[in-house]
Structure 1
Amino acid sequence: MWDFETEPDYQEKLDWVDAFVREEIEPLDLVLGDPYDKSDETARRLVRPLQQQVRDQGLWAAHLRPELGGQGYGQVRLALLNELLGRSRWAPTVFGCQAPDSGNAEILAHFGTDGQKQRYLQPLLDGEISSCYSMTEPQAGADPTLFTTRAVADGDDWVIEGEKWFSSNARHASFLIVMAVTDPDAAPHDRMSMFIVPRETPGLTIVRDAGVGTESPEHSSHAYLRYDGVRVPGDHLLGERGRAFAIAQTRLGGGRIHHGMRTIAQMRRAFDLMLERAVSRSTRTGRLADMQSTQDKVAESWIDLEQFRLLLLRTAWLIDRHQDYRSVRRDIAAVKVVMPRVYHDVVQRAMQLHGALGISNEMPFSAMMVDAQVMAIADGPTEVHRQPLARQLLREAEPGEPLFGSGHLPSRADAARAHVAARLEHLVANA
């Protein structure tokens, strides 16, 4: 059965989250620094009581299974929750679901040994440490078949050599999950393995931290890393050897959906500011709200936002139904492709309506525009998802008559006349 309503009990929790984020967490965005910096004791003293309130509500790390302290919520419930959390950069930390820690926790929960879970997963779940996912490389981007970072067995250890690019949050991470080639002669998707690398391991160097957009150096957190003879024990292999690609897909499938969930919150924020501006600001000829160009912006933005939200919720519903990201990869790809375009368009219209104020650093739109472009790159560029989506649809298409195809009206009319004549002949014969 298809239903567009939320269960009353869960809606009560969402109502609590809505008020809690607005009243207690959003103010933190304006006064606190980086949510991943666990050395900031002032922030920790402010955030810990809030995290306890979330735990008391049974909403801490809601994406994880109950045995790991979560609720095991399906993707639809997570979508509705993240739609609220996406309003604030501190909210995911307060709710124990911040990326990349949430994805790393899922990997450790599914594939980690008991020792790995005790040393790395539990402190991560408790919000005591931060982590990093170190996958992409300067020469290869997000295409794992082009990775060159190697991990070679040496006795009971592994030695990692190579470079990684845009390893987000490395500067604050206590450990990194690294993808490296261990079997170069295997099939492309069976060449790599995953390793846990403690941040203090000798040979691991941050060459520099890149910022997004106009971020200042002190706020840049996307590391260019060098692994120079980085030695880790054999028990720091995460999952089976050669299975890194499959493990990564488990992580990235949910991550792409969660990005979309939180993006909806930012789009809605921009849209609400657009409406506020339209009914507040007047020119010589009247309110902005009374101008056709403004009404066009409002209508198009609402349609774009609602269409994307329905696509995302439907995809979340399909994931819950099939419990298999691969069977829903077409829909996930569609979400990934649409998300940055809709995000950009809604924000650009809101920015334009605010004039010079809109492009200033006194409003959030410039940062949102950069974030929209980030969404076009994060977890694989848009092109990487558009082409497989098209290929899958084309594989499923049935060929038609080669000259004119199934939509050719004269051919259809001939077939229809023959069909009707046959029916008339049958009716006459049986009269």
Structure 2
Amino acid sequence: MDFAHSARAREYIESVGDFIETEILPREREYYTELFRQPDRWTVPPLIGELKAKARAAGLWNLFLPDERYGPGLTMTEYAPLAELMGRSTIAPEIFNCNAPDTGNAEVLHLYGSDEQRERWLEPLLAGEIRSAFCMTEPAVASSDATNMQATALLDGDDVVLNGRKWWSTGIGHPDCEFVIFMGLTDPEAHRHHRHSMVLVPKNTPGVRVERMLPVFGHYDEPYGHGEVSFTDVRLPRAAIIAGPGRGFEIAQGRLGPGRIHHCMRLIGLAERALQLACRRATERTAFGKPLANLGGNRERIAKARIAINQARLQVLHTAWLLETSGPLGAISELSQVKAAVPVMAYEVIDMAIQLHGGAGLSDDFPLAAALANARALRLADGPDEVHLGVVARIELAAHRDRA
């Protein structure tokens, strides 16, 4: 593949980069000051709406979706470097209407939704008027094996009835969250990959209850959050099922490919920011009469961080290109490779940056502690490391067995 960015990608890289540097990063501290000053942290500080309006007016909106009806219609390889830039700031993805899990839910509706579903949910989601959540993981079973799911989406005449409990439903705490996508068991007798369905559920439907918000290393990630949600005899019209009964796994695979690229590129941006902060600290701070950069092998650590970030970026760009040119089936191993490798890389780079900052790195004075929690959590989100390494090993062993 050619790793050179297209002319259109270069234009957006410059525009998004400038917007982040001039509009978003200078106001991050203001954002968190406003958020933590509010009696209720599950509200959105006004500056988010102000920045979203500016980004939309500048044409920097819905950059993730390859459909010119809703945005610039960028390809996966064109969007990847923009996701990296957004990863430098925790609030940047929402400013550009490119935050998870809304991007994945929008892709599901775009690819599989009915005209009615798109009109009711996709259009306001892409307009930035509402937010959403995705309910798949369950507390009672090992959800790394999605066929373990116990929650049900059973057909009853012209209705579908949902029962079960989900957790780590990211975004459920946002005040603008209006709907969730629920995945549940519909036909236990069908093939294991045709048993489940995905259902669109308005958040205010009777029987839907947010039981609690879950902390990650003591932080609740307000105003988005990760919730445990119960569904008790939730009755919806059969038309709420996306693409029809039994297609949940098919939809999940279509959703997860691009989502893993987005996650990995954002993590690379996060690692870049951590390295930037580490280099600044290493050159500006002195101890024992020397800059920190000249103590304790820190130069080598910085050099290895640069090498690791660059390696990860090229691997993810290659995977994005494969996904774009060959489809999900042509990039199965590569998607698992980057999902297993990039969070570990980012965690190690951020950990090094924290060490250079000393006690300050553990505080909220710098974005490093939150970045470390994010990188660690993503070793579990969208499948734990072990699942992805198992996929890579299976494909690798099969390839060598076929050659024998």
Query: Do Structure 1 and Structure 2 share a fold, with TM-score over 0.5?
Result: yes
**SS of 2:73 mapped into structure 1:** coil
Of 186, 198, 208, the residue aligned with 2:202 is 198
Identity %: 37
CA contact (8 A) 1:334 1:385 kept: yes
Alpha-carbon offset, residue 364 of structure 1: 1.9
Equivalent positions of 1:96-245 (< 5 A) are 96-140=97-141, 141-172=143-174, 173-216=177-220, 221-245=225-249
Residue 278 of structure 2 is aligned to residue 264 of structure 1: no
Counterpart of 1:14?
A: 13
Could you say if the C-alpha distance between residues 233 and 290 of structure 1 is closer, same or farther in structure 2, counting changes exceeding 3 Å? same
Alpha-carbon offset, residue 40 of structure 1: 4.0
Comparing 78-87 with 283-292, which one deviates more in the overlay? Answer: 283-292
Residue 321 of structure 2 is aligned to residue 317 of structure 1: yes
Report the residue type matching 1:273 in the other structure: L
Q: Deviations over 1:128-149 (max 9, x none)?
A: 0001111111122242210111
Could you say if the C-alpha distance between residues 45 and 316 of structure 1 is closer, same or farther in structure 2, counting changes exceeding 3 Å? closer
In structure 1, what is the Cα distance between the partners aligned to 2:310 and 2:106? Answer: 31
Q: Deviations over 1:48-90 (max 9, x none)?
A: 42133332xxx42122243541233222111111111111222
Counterpart of 1:332?
A: 335
Residue 8 of structure 2 is aligned to residue 5 of structure 1: no
Comparing 152-161 with 234-243, which one deviates more in the overlay? Answer: 152-161
Could you say if the C-alpha distance between residues 304 and 65 of structure 1 is closer, same or farther in structure 2, counting changes exceeding 3 Å? closer
Report the residue type matching 2:397 in the other structure: L
Report the residue type matching 2:115 in the other structure: D
Q: Deviations over 1:98-151 (max 9, x none)?
A: 111111011111111111111111100100000111111112224221011112
Residue 58 of structure 2 is aligned to residue 54 of structure 1: yes
Report the residue type matching 1:53 in the other structure: A
Unaligned runs of 5+ in 1: 402-431
In structure 2, what is the Cα distance between the partners aligned to 1:203 and 1:327? Answer: 41
Comparing 45-54 with 126-135, which one deviates more in the overlay? Answer: 45-54
Counterpart of 1:410?
A: none
In structure 1, what is the Cα distance between the partners aligned to 2:369 and 2:131? Answer: 28
Counterpart of 1:413?
A: none
Equivalent positions of 1:316-395 (< 5 A) are 316-322=320-326, 324-395=327-398
CA contact (8 A) 1:26 1:90 kept: no
Equivalent positions of 1:55-74 (< 5 A) are 55=59, 59-74=60-75
CA contact (8 A) 1:135 1:142 kept: no
Unaligned runs of 5+ in 2: 36-40
Could you say if the C-alpha distance between residues 9 and 207 of structure 1 is closer, same or farther in structure 2, counting changes exceeding 3 Å? closer
CA contact (8 A) 1:76 1:320 kept: yes
Comparing 116-125 with 39-48, which one deviates more in the overlay? Answer: 39-48
Could you say if the C-alpha distance between residues 346 and 242 of structure 1 is closer, same or farther in structure 2, counting changes exceeding 3 Å? same
In structure 1, what is the Cα distance between the partners aligned to 2:358 and 2:383? Answer: 33
In structure 1, what is the Cα distance between the partners aligned to 2:81 and 2:108? Answer: 23
Q: Deviations over 1:196-246 (max 9, x none)?
A: 110110011111110211215965721111111101111111112101001
Asked which structure has the greater RCO (Cα within 8 Å, sep 6+), the reply is 2
Report the residue type matching 2:328 in the other structure: Y
> Which protein has the larger Cα radius of gyration, Structure 1 or Structure 2?
1
In structure 2, what is the Cα distance between the partners aligned to 1:209 and 1:101? Answer: 19
In structure 1, what is the Cα distance between the partners aligned to 2:195 and 2:3? Answer: 44
Report the residue type matching 1:150 in the other structure: T
**SS of 1:205 mapped into structure 2:** strand
Alpha-carbon offset, residue 372 of structure 1: 1.4
Could you say if the C-alpha distance between residues 45 and 364 of structure 1 is closer, same or farther in structure 2, counting changes exceeding 3 Å? closer
CA contact (8 A) 1:38 1:129 kept: no
Could you say if the C-alpha distance between residues 266 and 44 of structure 1 is closer, same or farther in structure 2, counting changes exceeding 3 Å? closer
Could you say if the C-alpha distance between residues 254 and 357 of structure 1 is closer, same or farther in structure 2, counting changes exceeding 3 Å? same
Counterpart of 1:27?
A: 26
Counterpart of 2:281?
A: 277
CA contact (8 A) 2:152 2:184 kept: yes
Alpha-carbon offset, residue 398 of structure 1: 4.2
Instruction: Output the TM-score relative to the length of structure 1.
Output: 0.86
CA contact (8 A) 1:209 1:217 kept: no
Could you say if the C-alpha distance between residues 39 and 374 of structure 1 is closer, same or farther in structure 2, counting changes exceeding 3 Å? closer
**SS of 1:376 mapped into structure 2:** coil
Report the residue type matching 1:70 in the other structure: G
Comparing 329-338 with 139-148, which one deviates more in the overlay? Answer: 139-148
Instruction: Output the TM-score relative to the length of structure 2.
Output: 0.92
**SS of 1:371 mapped into structure 2:** helix
CA contact (8 A) 1:54 1:94 kept: no
**SS of 2:229 mapped into structure 1:** strand
In structure 2, what is the Cα distance between the partners aligned to 1:307 and 1:379? Answer: 22
Could you say if the C-alpha distance between residues 399 and 85 of structure 1 is closer, same or farther in structure 2, counting changes exceeding 3 Å? closer
Report the residue type matching 2:169 in the other structure: S
